Amino acid sequence: MPDMERWPTGRLLSTAARLVEHAWNEKLRGMDLTHAGVIVMEVLAVNGPTTQSMLAQIVRVQAQTMGKTLTRLEAHGHVSRARSVSDRRSQVVSLTEAGERTLGLATQLEREVLAPVPVDTAKLRRELQSLVRELANNHSSAVVNDIVAAADSGVAPGEPSN
């Protein structure tokens, strides 16, 4: 591996993120899940039943990409979709009981990915959260600030926070 002492911090973060995601996806494959599917399931666990279009907005993917992710999750019993009562054109997505259990297992698998790494992962999480918040507050657009605020509150960007 090239001399990482010379790498800029952004490259280190990016490389670490890709390596963690790759290792986690390898473990998730045995559960018929992907990292993208886990993200959707986490959003549903926090926000409750949500329309497919709102999920795409929250996760910041195209509706078509979200549709493919949901089709896979639904085929494995992790989510269910039903027509919205208020707008028959929309589908409301819900996390199933099986999906809740699977999400718990996926969270455990993520911990296992980082377990052999000789760092304080709780401290690393806090530091990364601080980094995201500070960069969003000091150096980013209103859109990025909205995303970070939504992540902190569990409310979708642009939704009222009750």
The CATH code of the domain that includes 44 is 1.10.10.10
Collapsed DSSP state (helix, strand, coil) of residue 117: coil
- Which letter does DSSP use for residue 57 in this model? H
Q: Where are the beta strands (DSSP E) in the chain?
A: 50-51, 79-83, 91-95
pLDDT over 60 (residue 155): no
Q: Give the pLDDT of residue 86.
A: 81
Q: Specify whether 29 is located in the same domain as 97.
A: yes
The range of the structural domain enclosing residue 88 comes to 19-118
Confidence of residue 104 (pLDDT cuts 50, 70, 90): very high
- Phi and psi, residue 34, nearest 5°: -130, 165
Task: Give pTM, 2 decimals.
Answer: 0.72
Q: Specify whether 102 is located in the same domain as 128.
A: no
Confidence of residue 140 (pLDDT cuts 50, 70, 90): low
Overall number of domains in the chain: 2
Q: Specify whether 82 is located in the same domain as 148.
A: no
Confidence of residue 151 (pLDDT cuts 50, 70, 90): low
Q: Tell me the β-bridge partners of 81.
A: 93
Contact 21, 35 (CB under 8 A): yes
1 domain-assigned: no
Q: Specify whether 47 is located in the same domain as 98.
A: yes
- Specify the DSSP element, H or E, that contains 121: helix 121-139
12 domain-assigned: no
Summarised one tens digit per residue, pLDDT across range 40-96 is: 999 999 999 999 989 999 988 898 999 999 999 999 999 999 987 887 788 899 999
